[in-house]
Amino acid sequence: MASARPSAPAFGLVLSLVLPLGLACKAEAPIDGSATATTSGASTTGEGPETSATGTGAPMDPCACADPVVHVGDLDLPGLAAYEGACLVEIDGILTIKGAASPAALAPLQRLRRAGWLEIAESPGLVDAAPLGCLEEATRLYLRNNPSLADLSALSRVVRVEDVWIEGAPITALPTFAPDYQGIRKLRLDDLPKLVDLDASATWPGLHDVDIWDGLMEIEIRGAPALTSVAGLAGPLADAVALAPDDAFAGAVSVTLDDLPALASLVGLEPYAHGDLALRRLPALVDLTPLAGFTRAGALELAGLDGLSSLAGLGGLISADRLTIGGCDGAGMPALTALSGLDALIRIDYGLSIIDAPKLVGLAGAPKLIDVGSVELIDAPLLGDAEVAAFLAQVGSPPACVGGVIECGCQGTAPAVIAVGCPALWEGGSAVSGQSAGGAFDGATAFFGWEGPGGTWAALQLVLVDAGADIEAAKAAGLSGTEPGTPKVLIDSGREYPYWVSTSTVDALMVHPGDVSAVGPVKLEISGRLGRWDVSDPDDPPRLVGALSTSDPNAPVQLNGSFDAVFCDAFVRVLGD
Nearest CA to 176 out of 204, 148, 197 is that of: 204
Q: Would you say 372 and 346 are in contact if contact means Cβ atoms under 8 Å apart?
A: no
Q: Is residue 195 part of a domain?
A: no
CA pair distance 437, 512, nearest whole angstrom? 9
Q: Is residue 234 part of a domain?
A: no
Q: Is residue 262 part of a domain?
A: no
Nearest CA to 280 out of 224, 207, 222, 367 is that of: 222
Residue 397 makes CB contacts below 8 A (sequence gap 6+) with none
Q: Which of 133, 155, 182 is the last residue of a domain?
A: 182
Q: Is residue 526 part of a domain?
A: yes
State the pairing for strand pair 558-567/543-549.
antiparallel
Q: Which of 182, 214, 237 is the last residue of a domain?
A: 182
Q: Is residue 316 part of a domain?
A: no
Q: Is residue 254 part of a domain?
A: no
Q: Is residue 274 part of a domain?
A: no
Q: How far apart are the two ends of the chain, measured CA to CA in Å?
A: 56
Report pLDDT for 164.
96
CA pair distance 168, 190, nearest whole angstrom? 7
Report pLDDT for 95.
96
Q: Can you give the CATH number for the domain in which 134 is found?
A: 3.80.20
Report pLDDT for 16.
33
CA pair distance 276, 395, nearest whole angstrom? 22
Q: Which of 143, 166, 182 is the last residue of a domain?
A: 182
pLDDT < 50: residue spans in the chain: 1-56, 210, 212-214, 577
| Number of domains into which the chain is organized | 2
Q: Which domain holds residue 475?
A: 416-574
Q: Is residue 311 part of a domain?
A: no
CA pair distance 434, 556, nearest whole angstrom? 10
